[in-house]
Each structure stands twice: as structure tokens, then as C-alpha cells.
Structure 1
Amino acid sequence: MVFVPLLYCSYSPEFMPLKELSAVLSQMPTDAKWRAGARNVAVRRRVATLFLIASLVCAHLPPIGGTRRLAAGALLVSQGCATGLVLGSWFSVPLTLLALPLALRWPVLAVDVDGGLIYVVVFGGCLRLFALSLCPGHEPLISALARRVHGALRPDVARYTRWLTVFWSVFFALALAAPPFLYALGPRGAWRWPMRGGSIGCVLVLMIAETGVRRMIIRDFAHVSIRTTVAAFRDATARSAIPTCRPDADT
């Protein structure tokens, strides 16, 4: 069943390879190029999201009987397909097929290594994104998001958003340090807790708590919901994935 979306992606015109897509786009009007490129990215993202959800389900299946090998194999295939869709290339498919026998031979180790790599990539990427925005000559990330939503920021809001960026940078650093710390000093198997939803749960709790703290510290301000903040973050990061910028008119 995992390969059904993969076959659809191979034959659907919306999932044509990047070289063919570029050739088609070069023959289209400028505005049509933007729409076609954006649509291709959007559809690939939706299917990649389905594969990622499937991989999460496989990673958390209970180890009953032979389900460990089945889950490890399906996990690897799902993530390989998701990677190919996100990057717009199928180079991940042969790599997945090469790694598949290893995952079937050592399923528990494969799931742990896979979860650890994803954890490091996600939280390491967040740490890099937040921490680099604090460097001289850069605008703190949360300040930039707030300015995108509200426009020019008051001094107290700019100060608060800067310190909030510092807070999240420290949190992501601690989240990365948690698994090795628990592996060395915690109970047996405790190092898996952050990777199995513990850190994500902390993120959700802190986001909800910060919403209340923000309203107490910053008064007389048009506060927005968490949903609006997340949408602004997604919009800021998604712009780099659109293949072309939409023009005002055809040239």
C-alpha cells in the first residue's frame, strides 16, 4: 500500500521530474509559471505529509510478534518517499532500497537510529534558525514574525520578542542535550522519552503558557492567536520553497 502513492507520483503530470517541469515552465507565460510551480510544490507537500504521518504511526506500533520488522520497513519506505517528494527528486528511493535489508535485520536499532536522526535534524534546525537570528546584523526571528503580523513594533514588544527568541534557542539546545543526558544518568530507556513525544509536548505546553504570559506583560496591544503566529511562521519559511516569485504582470 505504501507504493501506491509512489506510483501515482511517478505517472501524474503534477509530479513530473524537475527537469521536465523546468522545460514546461519555460514555454508558459510568467504568471502561469508561478501558478504551476506553486501548485506542484503544494501537491507534493500534501502527499509527503501523508507519508510522514504513516512513518509516525509505524514508529509507534507496539512490538508484537513480527510487527517490528514490518514497522521498520514501512517506516523507512514512507520516509524515503516523503524525502523524494519534498526535494523533488527520487534519489532517495535507491538509498531506501539499500537500507531496507538492514532495517529488516535490526528493526529496533533501525527505529531508534531513525528517530534519533529526525530528532536531531528537527530540533537542530530549529536551534540554528532561532540562534542565528540573534547574531549581530540580524533581526530576532520572533521579532520578524511579529513585525510581519503587526507592522512596526513598539520598543517593549521588540524587547519581549527578542528575549522570547533567546528563550526558545535555549530550549532547543536543552532538548538536543536531553537524550544523551538521560542515556548517561537516567533510567533504562529514558533517553527515548524526548524523542517519543516528550519534547513536542513541552513545546505545546510552553506555547500555551507563553500566550498567557505575553498578555500579562504586554498591555494595550492587539495580540494574535497561536494559530496566526504559526501561519506567519509557515508563510515565512514556505517562501523559499516556491520555485519562482509571482510577478505583477507578464514580461
Structure 2
Amino acid sequence: MEDRRDIKDNPDANPDPLTGEPGAHPVGTGVGAAGAGVVGTAFGAIVGGPVGAAVGAVVGSVAGGLLGKGVAEQIDPTLEDNHWRDNYRSRPYVESDYDYDRDYSHAYRTGYEGYPNYASQNMTYADAEPRLREDYEKRRGSSQLSWDKAKHATQDAWNRVENSVRGRREQDDFWRNNYQSRHYTDTGYDYNDYAPAYRMGYDSYSAFGLNQGMSYEQAEPQIRSEYERNYGNSRLGWDKAKYAVQDAWNRVKEALPGNDRSSQTYRTR
């Protein structure tokens, strides 16, 4: 076993659906962090080339509109813990002598809980590592992992969250800058009206399209139910929001390798 792998250069074997970089792991089904479980894929900007290594999936809850709130609110520790519990043995730094619950879970948690604390202070992983080490030593409990072994899992969890948050932010930036050019938008509504619909679209593609192999038409009843449950009192009713939802869904789908944009159907009014 190798003593050290650069986690940033060697993320998960699963490719990100937008950039082709390794590391995306859709997590959860449905659309809503507290209810059905949410997303899992770090979305990168589609126009203008690839966006850095997108390493998989944190939460970004459509239901809570978390993209507009603090970074910490975009991260669901339960989903992160479930992801690493299911996948830690595939990581190059993991040794078979060590257990997830007793040993590695503390290291991963140090990473995904540490990211919002230190990234909000404009710290990189390298900047934050001394503090992360202190955090790990305080919380390691009965873990047999010294920091020299635990730090690889901590960095892995940090990178996964960092790139997922960045990818969702880039999706939001794209639609903020381009929504007015879409034929379905009305001048009486601003981006704040459309933003939940776009988020619903790209999060739903991860939850239903990637995770369950559903077409937009198959998923639409569930998406509509989620939208109306969470945004039923918003100015943008489903009859208007559905075009933005489908647009965001299609934009992510069209970026996947092997998907021909010309074959996409877009339902208009």
C-alpha cells in the first residue's frame, strides 16, 4: 500500500458527469434534504469549459434554497457520513486493518465539518490543516489512526465538499447571468423568483436522472410535488416554473458524455 496519494489529483474513480473528472458520487434520492434526501452531484459550469475537479456530492437542498445561504447549510453531515461509510474501502489510503466507525469516520467528519468553518475564512486545505489536525485529535476518540494516516481521509472529505459547493455555485451563477435570455421568462419576475426552479431542475436531474435513470417526463410529477410543497406560495407557480426546471435539467443532461444536444426535446408553452 502506498504511504501517500495526492487526494486532489486522485479522487474517486466515479467520473463527474459534467467535467469527466473522477470523483462524482450521487447520493440520495428525491429532492429535499430533510425528506426524500437530496443530491449528490457537484455540478460545474457547462458553458466556457470544465471547472476544476468536481468531486461529488454534498447536499444542496432545493427545499431549503441553501445555495443562497451559508456554506454550512449546504452540507448534510448524515449524507456525507453515509457516502464515506459506503465507499471508504475503495480509497487508496485505506488500510484493511482499520474500521469505519471506530477509525475512519472521525477523520472524514473532520474534513466535511471543517470545510465550512475554515473555507468561510478564505482558508485552503493547506492553510487549515494545522487546525484540522487539532480538531481531529480532540474528536478521534478510540480511533487507531494517527494524524499521518487520518489526514488523507480528512482531505478527501474536504475536497469532496469543496468541489460540490463550488459546482452548485457555478450553476447558480450561470442561470443568474442568463435567465433573461430564455424565451419562457417574464419581465415581471426577477432571478430570485426563478432561482428555486433552476435549483430544482439541476438537483432533480442528479436525484432522478442519474440515480434512478428517469426521464424528465417520468420525474416531473415528483418534481412538481416537491416544488409546490416548498414553493407553493411563491410568485412563480408551477405553470411558469416548470420551464426553468426542465431547462436546468436539460442543461446538466446535455453535458453528459454521449448525450447529443440535438436529440433533446424541450417542451414549450
TM score, norm. by length of structure 2: 0.28
Q: Which structure: greater helix fraction? A: 1
The higher radius of gyration belongs to: 1
Which one scores higher on RCO, CA 8 angstroms, separation ≥ 6? 2
